[in-house]
Amino acid sequence: MKRIGIDVGGTNTDAALLDGDRVLASVKTFTTADVTSGVRTALNDLLAQAGDAAQDTIAVMIGTTHFTNAVVERRNLGRAAAIRIALPASASLVPFCDWPRDLAAKVNGGVYLVEGGHEYDGRPLVPMNERAVAEAARKIAADGIPAVAISATFSPLTAECEERAAEIVRNEAPDVHVTMSSTLGRIGLLERENVALMNASLIGLARETTRAFVDAVRDSGIEAQLFITQNDGTVVKADAAREYPVFSFASGPTNSMRGAALLAGIEDAVVCDVGGTTADVGCLVNGFPREANNVVEVGGVRTLFRMPDLLSVALGGGTKVTRDPLSVGPESVGYRLGQEALVFGGEQVTATDIAVAAGLIDIGDKSRVAGLSADFVSRALAVMHDRIAEAVDRMKTDATEIPLLAAGGGAMLIPETMPGISKVVHVEHNGVANAVGAAMAQISGETDRIYRDMERDDAIAAARADAIAAAIEAGADKDSIKVIEVEDLPLSYLPGRAIRTRVRVVGDAAALKGTVSA
């Protein structure tokens, strides 16, 4: 089954064509300011290189930093209103209260607090005020706000209030897009609400970007389904990704981790992905990134949802290096590496120039770095090695020595020996490991709910069935689905025998060839 993976990073856009686990062709191009034209270039270059080998490609998987960059850089964001169903509780900390001021000023489209919600044991806090929800919906539409995020207390356990409120909003304001927090986050009202608001603010950009990706694939001449990669190393169809852009925030590093695992044939390891701007360090467990179980900040906003446990440091191929005194980063030339680095005819010393001068890589015009002293090169390399080793050590959870998989176009900057690392493995095609990971991504299904008056094994079986059904609905081949994660927690504070059970499954995309849509 042939698939194309494309990963858009801050500096490079990479593409790879795979047939099963075999890489047939790969290309690396510079990312463009508008992202989409870079995807077109990478896709067209890949197809030209692959020739007839690209025939019968059934799917294109794209990972992009477009959405997280929009939040971090405060651009291309839409206004979003917040309807919180929680009164008389939760009134002291209103929506947007913990957002950076500049970001809140761009996104805040109004705050509406409504009576309703549930207690932690599923009992109604107070009856929901449906009239107040309807009035809020009419006001949001009258103000021209394009999207709304609906949150309610303990909605991941009981989404009844959010679902009813969404129904009312769609009836009163059919042109307003609705995001329910229960579909995105976990327990923790503020963090879950923040994710929903962020998602709502990105809906316009997500629709525009997804349509551009669809057009790029269609214009390339291949008939294939389009998928977008997600934070957990899986993919969703383009039309689903259009509704939940926040699930793609960390897809770039995740793609690299998955690709490195597949290329190396190692499922439990530390992965260091050195790109053009940052080095991202994470841990693989059973071939998938270890998930973060604590709050993750995105653009200065506290969130708690499905995100990989990653540590990013400002070190990549485009990192600026200065002399007298020596400094390495944090600034980077980013996608301008091809114009500004010494070896490419520019005037800025970068980490790539240091690597070329040290003989770690052979690209560009080596004569342009001949004037860099050996002492300067060795000291700069030492700083880079120390920075990576410290990041790796911080991500390990115990003293056991495990392998480290080196990936990314800047993998040459990773030291060959580090404390706590049994060996450093430079995987084949490591420069495009992110594109390989995107191409090999599977479709997931997850359930996280409370089961009452059931034995533990029965609760897990029910959760497994729900997760499998979700994966099949998302486009997974039912014969390829496997369980990768099971968690269960008895809840002694709830009446009856209550068990909170979370099950995650993955499966290959069903081999359905056809034109892309969104």
> Which pLDDT tens digit goes with each residue over 434-454?
888 888 877 878 777 777 778
Whether omega for the bond prior to residue 100 falls within 30 degrees of 0, making it cis, is no
Q: How many CB atoms lie within 10 A of CB 499?
A: 23
For residues 509 and 443, is the Cβ–Cβ distance under 8 A?
A: yes
Fold of 72-207: Rossmann fold (3.40.50)
**pLDDT surpassing 90 at residue 431:** no
For residues 442 and 66, is the Cβ–Cβ distance under 8 A?
A: no
CA-only gyration radius of the chain, Å: 24
Residue of 232, 266, 284 whose CA lies nearest to 467: 232
> In a 3-state reduction of DSSP, which class is residue 175?
coil
**pLDDT surpassing 90 at residue 174:** yes
Q: How far apart are CA 225 and CA 218, in angstroms?
A: 10
| Residue 513: predicted pLDDT | 44
**pLDDT surpassing 80 at residue 251:** no
Query: Residues 152, 156, 157, 163: is their CA dihedral positive or negative?
Result: positive
Query: Residues 168, 172, 173, 174: is their CA dihedral positive or negative?
Result: positive
**pLDDT surpassing 80 at residue 294:** no
Q: Which two tokens stand for residue 480?
A: 């390829």
Look up the CATH number of domain 259-440: 3.30.420
**pLDDT surpassing 60 at residue 305:** yes
| Residue 115: predicted pLDDT | 95
Beta-bridged to residue 450, according to DSSP, are 500
> Which pLDDT tens digit goes with each residue over 175-208?
999 999 988 877 778 888 999 999 999 999 888 8
| Residue 495: predicted pLDDT | 60
Q: pLDDT confidence of 492, banded at 50, 70, 90?
A: low
User: Which residues, including other chains, have CB under 8 Å from residue 316's CB and lie 6 or more apart?
Assistant: 11, 274, 275, 276, 277, 278, 279, 332, 351, 408, 410
| Residue 148: predicted pLDDT | 96
**pLDDT surpassing 60 at residue 511:** no
| Residue 299: predicted pLDDT | 75
Averaged pLDDT for residues 245-252: 80
| Residue 457: predicted pLDDT | 87
Q: How far apart are CA 147 and CA 79, in angstroms?
A: 7
**Percent share of the chain, pLDDT over 90:** 30
> Which pLDDT tens digit goes with each residue over 27-43?
988 877 777 788 888 88
Alpha-carbon distance values, 445 to 48, 154, 174, 436 (Å): 35, 22, 29, 22
Beta-bridged to residue 82, according to DSSP, are 111, 149
Q: pLDDT confidence of 510, banded at 50, 70, 90?
A: low
Residue of 175, 120, 180 whose CA lies nearest to 153: 120
Q: pLDDT confidence of 147, banded at 50, 70, 90?
A: very high
